[in-house]
Amino acid sequence: MPTLSSAGQDSLHLAPFGDERSDLTGMRLMGERGATYVVGRSLGVGATGVVHQVEGNDLILKTLRRRHGTEPELAERLVREGQVTLGFQHAGLPHGVDSGVLLDGSPFVVLTHVPGVSLGQVLAAHGALTGPEIAILAIRAAAVLHVVHQQGVVHRDIKPEHLLLSSTDSGRLRVGLIDFGVCTGSFVTAQQRQDETGRVYGTPNYVSPEQARGVADVDARADLYGLGAVLYECASGQVPFRASNVARLLRKIISCEVPGLRGGIHGVGPAVERCILGAITRDAEHRYSSARGLSRSFSDCFQSSGEKRSAETLLLERIHGADVLGFSAPTPHVALEAVG
């Protein structure tokens, strides 16, 4: 069995912890497209990446921490994120605007800011969600994933911190998805896919069994598993599998079926529970085949449009009352060696 490297969970610490690369603040950087960007305050720092505000507009600048600035794989992934997001034209997704190179040779990308409060922050503030809230969350998240998958992209790191919740101008729930640092898809070369085989990309608690086995050529169903694991946590207050270390966790994900919810903390109801478990079956062939299919199943959990609207209103109240409103930003991730 391969040896595991250090865990690849690159959680973002919001400022004031994000003061690394503080020398960039106030600097004027020129992108490859000829535009100039004035770097604003540091918004956060992860294990490998740093995110800054761009002054004067609704953009962010993402680069690598100084110690990782010239690591080829991380640099390649950051550049890939900028290129992949060029094709996104959706309010809930970052759009790649520009890219460039810092004086020390490390890359940076400029992305549009996706507003919202992370689902992780909402769960920390309020705990588990009700069945109707989970259903409306799933429908909105699936809508964003559908756009991503239509572009031939698989995110590979769906987790509460990467799902941003906000309200539209008309007062409806919007779910955004950020951090495409470990994405894959039709744009990946055969050599890149070969290099990635045998490694685990994503956050261990939410990776699909095929990701845990180190399969590089995963499809949209891996993201649906990740979303299902997130929804499971929304219902039960804990992730589907728990273990004393990452190696044991990955073995459980590979070899075990997800335990039933037993109604969840708030009694999510059998229909919602069936939908959640349908997204996180161990065998990808028995999972939802598309984000739209998942969305339709969760929509069937509502008896009327009024019931759906009530659930939406309740979830929006949690967001606005959580006292956690702020800037959530994406960060790059590292990988684990695969198990089994």
Render pLDDT for 258-302 as a digit per residue (tens, 0 to 9).
Answer: 988 877 777 889 999 999 999 999 999 999 999 999 999 999 999
Percentage of the chain beyond pLDDT 90 is 71
Q: How far apart are CA 114 and CA 267, in angstroms?
A: 32
Tens digit of each residue's pLDDT (9 = 90 or more) over 125-153:
999 999 999 999 999 999 999 999 999 99
Tens digit of each residue's pLDDT (9 = 90 or more) over 16-29:
344 578 889 999 99
The count of structural domains within the chain is 2
Cβ-proximal residues to 55 (8 Å cutoff; 6+ apart), any chain: 38, 39, 40
User: What's the domain range around 291?
Assistant: 117-320
E strands of 33-189, at which residues? 36-45, 49-54, 59-64, 96-101, 107-112, 117-118, 153-154, 163-167, 173-177, 184-185
Question: Do 35 and 107 share a domain, yes or no?
Answer: yes
Is the predicted pLDDT of residue 214 greater than 80, yes or no?
Answer: yes
Tell which of 91, 114, 137 closes a domain: 114
Question: Do 131 and 42 share a domain, yes or no?
Answer: no
Model pLDDT, residue 326: 45
CATH number for the domain harbouring residue 70: 3.30.200.20
| Cα separations in angstroms, 123 against 15, 103, 203, 248 | 21, 40, 18, 26
Question: Do 110 and 145 share a domain, yes or no?
Answer: no
For the entire predicted model, the pTM comes to 0.89
Q: Which structure tokens are listed for 175?
A: 């779910």
Average pLDDT over residues 180-196: 90
Is the predicted pLDDT of residue 182 greater than 60, yes or no?
Answer: yes
Confidence of residue 322 (pLDDT cuts 50, 70, 90): low
CATH number for the domain harbouring residue 274: 1.10.510.10
Is the predicted pLDDT of residue 3 greater than 60, yes or no?
Answer: no
